[in-house]
Every structure is written in C-alpha cells, then in structure tokens.
Structure 1
Amino acid sequence: MTPSRPPRRSLVTGANRGLGLEFVRQLLAHGDHVVATCRHPGRANALNQLVGEHPGRLHVLPLDVGDPKSHAELARELPLVMDGIDLLVNNAGVLHSGERFGHVPPANLDDSLRTNASGPFLLTQALAERLVDGATVANLSSVLGSIASVGGFHTPSYAMSKAAQNMATALLATAMRERGIAVVALHPGWVQTDMGGSGAQITPDASVRGLIKVIDGLGIDDTGKFFDYRGQPVPW
C-alpha cells in the first residue's frame, strides 16, 4: 500500500486482534507512527511480531479501557514514545452474546457500559492534552447502537452501551470543536472477527480499508456525525 497522505501519529485501542490489529497493520502501511494498546502486551503475539517488522514506528503499551487508572498511566507513558496524537481510534470493546429478555445479567450491562461507553469517553478526556489541534477521534460504534434502526431484542447490553457511546461522541465533538478536533462514530459493518462471528459479511481488511478512507476524508464539519465504513451516514 502506498502512502497517499503524510504520516500520522496514531493510537489504537484494543489492538491485539480483530479490527484493532487490522487498523495497526494498515496505518503502519500508510507510514504512520503507531501506539497500539491492549490489556496484556506480553500475550499479543501478532502485535509484537509487527514491532519487529516496523522498528521505531510501532510501540505497544498496556491499557484496560474500562479502568481510569490505566488511562492515567497511558497518558503519563505516552510522551516517552510519541510527541502528540493526530488520530485516536477508540476500538476496544466487549460483546456479551446469548442474552435473552428476562435473563440479562446486571454484570453484562455494567461491563458493557464501562468498556464500550464510559471507557472511550474517559480515555479521550484523559488524552485530550496529547491530542494535537486538528486531530481526529474515531469511535468504533455499531448500527446496533442506532436507536432508529432497532429491529428486535438483540445483544441488549452491547446495543445500549453503543447508544451511550454515540452520545459520548456527540458530546466530545462539541467539547473539542474549538480546537479543530473532529470526533466521529463509525460503524465498521458486520465483520469477520471473534466478535462478529463466522457468518459476518466483510473481512477486517475491507472494513478497515473503508474506515481509514472515511477518516482521511473527514473535516471539522463532519464532527459529531455517524458514518459506516463506506462513508454513508448512519441514523442515530
């Protein structure tokens, strides 16, 4: 892949597998300097292999997106490897499958809201000083978080947490607009990952290629909006 834009300083959460790992691969191919975060860097074999292939351009740091203490630690460590953030990809998330009405465990809701909604919001807040003016914050959302698109009782803890994350996107967009920072929600499609399952429709490669194209085309007028990986608007 040939770089079609100047290299960026990018940070990707949940980068040890699935869409996060694919984001890291493609951003590196674009020439970016990437910080990849995950809960257990020592176990992230694919990421650590990429570190060897891209010396000096990829750093792996620990982050538990659901733990504010971990956010603060990342904010402290970041300047040692990167002098600012041009792109923050809030990708880390959790989906509890098999939920049925009347049997949704409270722990599922708590975990989903902490990881998928308050986690990205608080992390973005913690890293706000590291984001350069004119940066982009891309929150990986889902059409399942679209209230207008509800078609049945599906993955309620995930859907509710993604709807809450969408509100966080809208609020962050208003808070950071004066610095020229665009904050958007992105639906990656139904992707063939551990979370998406084997019946999913598109590959991580195709999804992330589309998402990066959308990100590259964003301007401040797009802040606070919700797009899919093809650049089409998604209803809230």
Structure 2
Amino acid sequence: MDTRPRTSLVTGANRGLGLEFTRQLLARGDHVVAACRDPGHAHALNALVGEHPGRLHVLPLDVADARSRTAFAAELPLVLGDDGRIDLLLNNAGVLHSGERFGTLGEANLEHSFRVNASGPLLLVQALEPQLADGARVVNISSRLGSIALTERFGTPSYNISKAAQNMATALLAQALAGRGIVVVAVSPGWVRTDMGGSDAEVAPEDAVAGVIRQVEALGEGDSGRFLGTDGETIAW
C-alpha cells in the first residue's frame, strides 16, 4: 500500500482560485507545489510557506513559455525527491482579455489566450508525465464559456475559444494517459468572485474550490475525459 502523503501541483497559485486551492489542499494534509510566474511578488502565497513548513514549495512557472515549462519540469524532481510523484495536477493558470468586440479583434489576444489556456496546460502535462503517479488526477479548470453548445452571445471570444480548445485537450489527454489509470477532466468552477471573475460574480472562491475538490475526490476511471460542473453534472461540449 502507498502510504506517502498526497502531492498536489497547482498552477497560477499566486492569487484567486489558485491561492484558494493551495490553502484548501494544505488544510486537507497534502504536500503542495504551488507554481506561478513571479514567486517574488506572490506575498500571500509565500506567507503560507511559513505556516506549512516542509509541505509547500513555491516554484516559478509561466505555462505559456516553453523554456519555463522545461525548467520547471527539470526542477520538480529536486522538490519531489527520487520517489516523489504528483497525485493531483490542477491546471488553474488562465487569462481573460476583457473588452473585446467583434470588428476590432486582433491576433495578439487570441494567440496569448491559446498559449495560456489551452496549449500551455496540454504541453505541461506532457512534460510532467514522468512525474505523474499511476492513477493520478489531472484537472483542467475550464469554464461554461468554453461550451460550444451553450453559446448564446458574442463575448470574450479569446477566452471562450481557448477554453473550448482546452476542453478538447482534456479529451485527448484522457486517451493518452488511460493506460496508466490517470483520470483527466475539465471542471467549471462557475462564475467566481476573483480578479478575473469580478466583484459581481455569483460564487465565493472558497465555495468554488471546495466544489471542485469534492468532484475530484469522487472521480473514477470511467469519468476520464468528462466536462463537469461542481455539482457533478456533465456540461455539454
């Protein structure tokens, strides 16, 4: 029986949902690797290091940058140790470019959104596959705005398109990692009151994160490749 503590990795951990994921995973007893672009300015995250000595490691990672992903993958074994493995990978880092309007869209926002929200998480999983434990969980934090079936208006196109691509990456990764019993899902946390979601959003970060973790704990191998809400219901692609 594997008696080692669970190890979770959270991207975009310096604020919002990522910071709350870090808090709640530490509270349940996990060892946590918290990744963000600029750890030196992640003051709230660094404060948690002192509160949880030996159980929280903060590492630099820009999921959209190939060199950063490579450096992160090389440094991670030094943190995990020779026998260390990732039990839960939360691809939480994301970007939303506000104020986009049809007729004035440019390539820069579309390309940046795709790198951060879709290709970055996909390539990070590929790079970290050797460090994933057999039977691990990979969770892509998605959004109902990435659902083609639920689209009813033109809004936040760079975000929506990139999240739809992330959902396809989820389905593909589920196939790629099935042989090792690794479950890959996309989960929408809802409209959350963070810097990205805004102050009018419906869901508090702590409730959104608790809902995602609850669904992750209930996952079985048959759930791999699904797109879920925090209520456990399947969201239409």
Which residue of the partner structure matches residue 67 of structure 2?
69
Return the alpha-carbon distance in structure 1 between the equivalents of residues 87 and 196 of structure 2: 27
Q: Is the 8 A contact 1:9 1:87 kept in 2?
A: yes
**How big is each residue's C-alpha offset from its partner over 1:109-168, in whole Å with a ceiling of 9 and x where there is no partner?**
010001100000000000000001100000000000000000100100000000000000
SS at structure 1 position matched to 2:149: helix
Shift of 1:230: 1.7
Give the letter aligned to residue 165 of structure 2. A
Report the identity percentage: 65
TM-score (norm 2): 0.96
TM-score (norm 1): 0.97
Q: Which of 27, 35, 38 is 2:36 aligned to?
A: 38
Matched, 1:80 2:44: no
Q: Which of 42, 48, 51 is 1:50 aligned to?
A: 48
**How big is each residue's C-alpha offset from its partner over 1:21-79, in whole Å with a ceiling of 9 and x where there is no partner?**
00000000000000000000010000100000000000000000001111111111111
Return the alpha-carbon distance in structure 1 between the equivalents of residues 47 and 231 of structure 2: 30
Q: Which runs of 5+ in 2 are unaligned?
A: none
SS at structure 2 position matched to 1:50: helix
Return the alpha-carbon distance in structure 2 between the equivalents of residues 103 and 143 of structure 1: 24
**How big is each residue's C-alpha offset from its partner over 1:1-33, in whole Å with a ceiling of 9 and x where there is no partner?**
xxxxx8410000000000000000000000000
Structural RMSD (CA): 0.8
Q: Which runs of 5+ in 1 are unaligned?
A: 1-5
Matched, 1:60 2:54: no
Q: Is the 8 A contact 1:33 1:57 kept in 2?
A: yes
SS at structure 2 position matched to 1:151: coil
Which residue of the partner structure matches residue 95 of structure 2?
94
Which residue of the partner structure matches residue 3 of structure 1?
none
Which residue of the partner structure matches residue 23 of structure 1?
21
Count of residue pairs brought into register by the alignment = 231
Which residue of the partner structure matches residue 197 of structure 2?
196
Return the alpha-carbon distance in structure 1 between the equivalents of residues 154 and 147 of structure 2: 13
Return the alpha-carbon distance in structure 2 between the equivalents of residues 163 and 41 of structure 1: 29
Q: How does 1:1-236 map to 2 (within 5 A)?
A: 7-82=5-80, 83-236=84-237
